């Protein structure tokens, strides 16, 4: 199926992706895939108002009934997995198994959210007063505004909306301008699930989920709207710096999922076969365009040269090419700006003493209008300025260390704090890495790479990564408001702290 047929099969009418002002090009070959209607800021404002009206009804639907809608959505995703994944590959350039993996993440979070819909529990707390009970409840929060990036064009929406919908919230989504088609398809599948939900006899308001494509002005109208209770934004640190203070200025809630600069420490006891495989996928999978991509290897001086030589050999064998042709592992960069950013980083790395392998443009003759790059490995003399900078491309910097303390210090000495890993067979080293004085990241793994997290855990990181947590564990709490209730079932009115106020 071509893109139009895929979109039609997923429930998107041709009018939604033709004749608009937002031109969509495939990173695979630069071909135009569609021309999507762009919303105005006023349309975003109106969408938020509609979402808020829907919230006033949806919050009263029992949570397990809300879960049923998400269950149906998960069914739609299962039935349409191959088509949606293919669209992700065409629009975002992911190789087939990674496109399918992304849709699988959506299915997984739906399953997780359905279970959660019967477990949105608070606590009962001991009261200091006789005949009193204290408890806390989690209640629906409001409209959730979702801003997502091109590299996970559909999963990030699902992590947020599946939790938000069972929490009793409604959603407004501003996808990346680079991936509006997958967003339209995702919304269409949601609309199908909603129709089935209503056909099965469940009451649901319209506008539980709305998708508005467009640029910065559309995003800003969402970010500034006082009826958006939570803005969940995934993207660059630069975007987060713009969004965070605007939301804070109106006392809204923010969940930020920003840049990473993820490192893997490899110690003398490590299983090097495992380490090579973990690093290769972490550094070069998704052509280095995950926020969890491994950007640095910090290897002990005793194994550094052997490890780096093996990595370099394996790197050179990775098959680059169209992500929809079987066998290829490295697809294109999203656009020319991304390729230019990669070249600028490699130039800076050379100037800062780095020895670069790979990194050149690939397949320029076959795809003159697309931007494929050889994965790059850069042996660095030390952690210079360019190594501390997140370049969203397949560049792996390698560094040497002598003591584990030094390795951890290097790993933490970057502005970002998303993901990290250690390869070791020494339990002391593994525990030290995960301890308070170890990795300062939101994710710290042992003997697996930095990327490819499962949805069951809380996902996110510290420092310039923004501090947000989404997906599993108790991340759902960000989508709800907490109330503390003290109930007096006695016939007295004792005041707390022994205060007397009787006439
Ligand atoms: C992202 O790159 O924006 O851990 C998210 C991973 C994926 C999510 C990445 N589950 O690599």
Of the pLDDT bands very low, low, confident and very high (cuts 50, 70, 90), residue 40 is very high
CA of 100 to the centre of ligand 1 (A): 14
Q: What is the 3-state secondary structure (H, E, C) of 123-178?
A: CEECCCCCCEEEEEEEEECCEEEEECCCCCCCHHHHHHHHHHHHHCCEEEEECCCC
In tens, the pLDDT along 346-355 reads 999 999 999 9
CA of 114 to the centre of ligand 1 (A): 22
Q: Catalytic residue among 110, 171, 254, 291, which?
A: 291
CA of 214 to the centre of ligand 1 (A): 23
Average pLDDT of the residues in 213-236: 97
What pLDDT shows up at residue 160? Answer: 98
Among 94, 153, 155, which residue has the most ligand 1 atoms within 8 Å of its CB, making it the best to mutate? 155
User: Quick one: what percent of the chain has pLDDT higher than 90?
Assistant: 100
| Beta strands across the sheet bearing 143-147 | 209-211, 170-174, 143-147, 228-234, 253-257
In tens, the pLDDT along 179-212 reads 999 999 999 999 999 999 999 999 999 999 999 9
Contact 324, 96 (CB under 8 A): yes
Nearest to 191 by CA among 209, 204, 179, 175: 209
Of the pLDDT bands very low, low, confident and very high (cuts 50, 70, 90), residue 118 is very high
Q: Catalytic residue among 68, 105, 257, 464, which?
A: 257
Nearest to 107 by CA among 147, 162, 69, 169: 162
What pLDDT shows up at residue 212? Answer: 98
Query: What backbone torsions phi and psi does residue 169 show, to the nearest 5 degrees?
Result: -95, 170
Of the pLDDT bands very low, low, confident and very high (cuts 50, 70, 90), residue 482 is very high
CB count in 10 Å sphere of residue 369: 13
Helix (H, G, I), strand (E, B), or coil: what is residue 480?
strand
Of the pLDDT bands very low, low, confident and very high (cuts 50, 70, 90), residue 11 is very high
How far apart (Å, rounded) are the C-alpha atoms in residues 231 and 172?
Answer: 10
Q: State the average pLDDT for the chain.
A: 98
Among 453, 454, 475, which residue has the most ligand 1 atoms within 8 Å of its CB, making it the best to mutate? 453
Half-sphere exposure of 50 (CA within 13 A, CB side): 16
Of the pLDDT bands very low, low, confident and very high (cuts 50, 70, 90), residue 478 is very high
Nearest to 99 by CA among 31, 153, 171: 153
Of the pLDDT bands very low, low, confident and very high (cuts 50, 70, 90), residue 158 is very high
Of the pLDDT bands very low, low, confident and very high (cuts 50, 70, 90), residue 244 is very high
Ligand 1 environment, Cβ below 6 A? 105, 151-152, 234, 290-292, 451-453
Average pLDDT of the residues in 303-318: 98
Average pLDDT of the residues in 62-72: 98
In tens, the pLDDT along 389-443 reads 999 999 999 999 999 999 999 999 999 999 999 999 999 999 999 999 999 999 9
Nearest to 287 by CA among 464, 92, 419: 92
CA of 159 to the centre of ligand 1 (A): 11
Sign of CA dihedral 287, 289, 290, 296: positive
Which pTM does this prediction carry? 0.97
For the question of residue 171 being annotated catalytic, the response is no
Domains in the chain (CATH in brackets) are 3-258+466-484 (3.40.605.10), 262-446 (3.40.309.10)
For the question of residue 257 being annotated catalytic, the response is yes
């Amino acid at each position: 199926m071509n893109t139009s047929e895929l979109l039609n099969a997923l429930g998107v009418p041709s009018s939604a992706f033709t004749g608009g002002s937002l031109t969509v090009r495939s990173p695979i070959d630069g071909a135009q895939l569609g021309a999507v209607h762009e919303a105005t800021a006023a349309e975003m404002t109106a969408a938020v108002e509609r979402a808020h009206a829907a919230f006033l009804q949806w919050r009263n639907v029992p949570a397990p009934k809300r879960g049923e809608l998400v269950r149906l959505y998960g069914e739609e995703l299962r039935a349409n997995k191959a088509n949606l994944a293919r669209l992700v590959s065409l629009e975002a350039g992911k190789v087939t198994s990674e496109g399918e993996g992304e849709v699988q993440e959506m299915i997984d979070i739906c399953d997780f959210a359905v279970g959660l819909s019967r477990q949105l529990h608070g606590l009962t707390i001991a009261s200091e007063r006789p005949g009193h009970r204290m408890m806390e409840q989690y209640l629906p929060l409001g409209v959730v505004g979702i801003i997502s990036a091109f590299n996970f064009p559909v999963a990030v929406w699902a992590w947020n909306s599946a939790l938000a919908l069972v929490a009793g919230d409604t959603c407004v989504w501003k996808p990346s301008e680079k991936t509006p088609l997958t967003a339209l398809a995702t919304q269409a599948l949601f609309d199908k699930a909603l129709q089935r939900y209503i056909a099965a006899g469940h009451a649901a308001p319209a506008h539980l989920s709305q998708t508005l494509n467009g640029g910065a002005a559309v995003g800003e109208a969402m970010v500034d709207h006082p009826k958006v209770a939570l803005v969940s934004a995934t993207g660059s640190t630069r975007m987060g710096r713009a969004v965070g203070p605007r939301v804070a200025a109106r006392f809204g809630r923010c969940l930020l999922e920003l840049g990473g600069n993820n490192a893997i420490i490899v110690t003398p006891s490590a299983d090097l076969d495992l380490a090579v495989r973990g690093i290769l996928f972490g550094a070069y999978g998704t052509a280095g365009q995950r926020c969890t991509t491994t950007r640095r290897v910090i290897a002990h001086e005793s194994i550094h040269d052997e490890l780096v030589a093996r990595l370099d050999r394996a790197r050179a064998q990775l098959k680059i090419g169209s992500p929809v042709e079987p066998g290829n592992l490295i697809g294109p960069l999203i656009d020319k700006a991304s390729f230019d950013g990669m070249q600028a980083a490699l130039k800076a790395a050379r100037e800062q003493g780095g020895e670069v392998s790979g990194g050149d443009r690939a397949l320029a003759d076959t795809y003159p209008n697309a931007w494929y790059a050889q994965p790059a490995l850069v042996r660095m003399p030390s952690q210079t300025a360019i190594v501390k900078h997140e370049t969203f491309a397949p560049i792996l910097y390698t560094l040497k260390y002598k003591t584990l303390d030094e390795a951890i210090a290097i790993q933490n000495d970057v502005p970002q704090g998303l993901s990290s890993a250690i390869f070791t067979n020494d339990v002391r080293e593994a525990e030290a890495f995960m301890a308070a004085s170890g990795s300062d990241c939101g994710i710290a793994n042992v003997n697996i790479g930095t990327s490819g997290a499962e949805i069951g855990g809380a996902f996110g990181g510290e420092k310039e990564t923004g501090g947000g947590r989404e997906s599993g564990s108790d991340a759902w709490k960000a989508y709800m408001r907490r109330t503390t209730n003290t109930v007096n079932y006695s016939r007295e009115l004792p005041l707390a702290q022994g205060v007397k106020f009787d006439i």
